[in-house]
Structure 1
Amino acid sequence: MSPRLPPPHRRVTATALLAWAALPLGVVVLALAALWWWRPSLLLPGTRALEMEGGDPYLRALMRTISASESNVRRPYHVLHGGGYVQSLAQHPNRCEAIGAGPNRGNCSTAAGRYQLLYSTWLELAARHHPQRTRDPLDATRLSFAPPYQDVVVHAWLADRRAWGMDLSAQLRQGRVRQVLRRLSGTWTSLGYGIESNRMSGKLPHLYQDLVREELAEAGAASPP
């Protein structure tokens, strides 16, 4: 006597079960792909919008690109080298955190904030570009490290042609993103041409194109060709 089969409406095959299970995963993948196409910065916390107002949209997009590889974390303005966080941004934290990997392993770094600025670099830049600076050279040690000031100081630094030997904004307007990243890689070593590349480094040129379109749209300017 042959075994009895269940009614057709009660037969469930392994293939059917896998197909039903794959539906939610497929929806999630499609949603993430659509979100990446529409606004990729929402998937990368390091590329969140700047706290400062105004500025050159090409340099603003560059700053967000830098932080995508340097501080791609939930609170980029508060992050220390190594992944720890600091609560107060009343001034640069100046905490030398151990370097656990890479060519500088065994040393420590005072890098902090969205742009991972060393304490010595911050003092030099703040003395020249911080909105609250005074003529007192020691004043830089007490200047606020709050998010808008981090942005303003780095934006002014990137806009300084003498600092880089080129007009970075003009280079970006001409589409020379890789050349700009190469020039900056001596300062930010994770940009793809330095000594500490990471998983984001190779994606930065493409990411910059998405971010500059977003910045130009916010500024009401035409997108680059």
Structure 2
Amino acid sequence: MARLTEAQAGGANVLRFLDLIAFSEGTAPVAGSDDGYNVLYGGGLFNGYRDHPRRRLTFPINGNPVTSTAAGRYQLLERYWDAYRTSLRLSGGFTPENQDRVAIQQIRERRALDDIKAGLIAQAIAKCSNIWASFPGNDYGQNPHKLEKLLAKWQQLGGGTV
């Protein structure tokens, strides 16, 4: 589960959407992980939250090698962490709470936050598909989930209106 409180996140649906991202990105269920917050691209784990792990890893996707610095519950790239850490004035490192804050800011920048609060999750997923490769509607070629699967998970998480 997301680590920010409901008040800090801006509502229960925002917390649910963060959990939906973690489900979609495949980070939350990684065995031995801290609910996905310490997961590297490809499923390995990193230790400590002092900073983004800054590891460039390559794995095949659909027969093609894909290299990424993605890490954490929301698979944030190193360069974006650096930018958001500065713009949001985050202290304390690549902590779970700061990962949540960055993900919410990314959602806000895609103008999907009001959709999420209203339960318009299909719209929010579409607006955020260029951030998370596991969301349908992007051209990353990384086998996104079907919208129906994400909407079913949304309802399982306790969300209403899709």
Deviation at 1:130? Answer: 4.3
Q: Does 1:190 align with 2:160?
A: no
Deviation at 1:202? Answer: 4.1
What does 1:58-137 correspond to in 2, within 5 Å? 58-70=13-25, 71=27, 72-74=29-31, 75=33, 76-102=36-62, 105-132=64-91
The aligned amino acid for 2:84 is L
d(CA) in 1 for partners of 2:117, 2:100 = 20
Cα RMSD of the aligned pairs, angstroms, is 2.4
User: Normalized per residue, which structure has more strand?
Assistant: 2
Deviation at 1:198? Answer: 4.9
Relative contact order, higher structure (CA 8 A, sep 6+): 2
Q: Quickly say closer, same or farther: Cα 1:183–1:94, change in 2 above 3 A.
A: same
Unaligned ranges ≥5, structure 1: 1-48, 133-142, 214-222
d(CA) in 2 for partners of 1:224, 1:182 = 15
d(CA) in 1 for partners of 2:118, 2:101 = 24
Deviation at 1:68? Answer: 0.2
Q: Which has the larger radius of gyration?
A: 1
The aligned amino acid for 1:86 is F
User: Normalized per residue, which structure has more helix?
Assistant: 1
Paired position in structure 2 for 1:16: none
What is the TM-score of this pair, normalised by structure 1?
0.60
Q: CA contact under 8 A between 2:37 and 2:96: conserved in structure 1?
A: yes
d(CA) in 2 for partners of 1:172, 1:183 = 11
Q: CA contact under 8 A between 1:60 and 1:155: conserved in structure 2?
A: no
| Corresponding residue pairs, total | 152
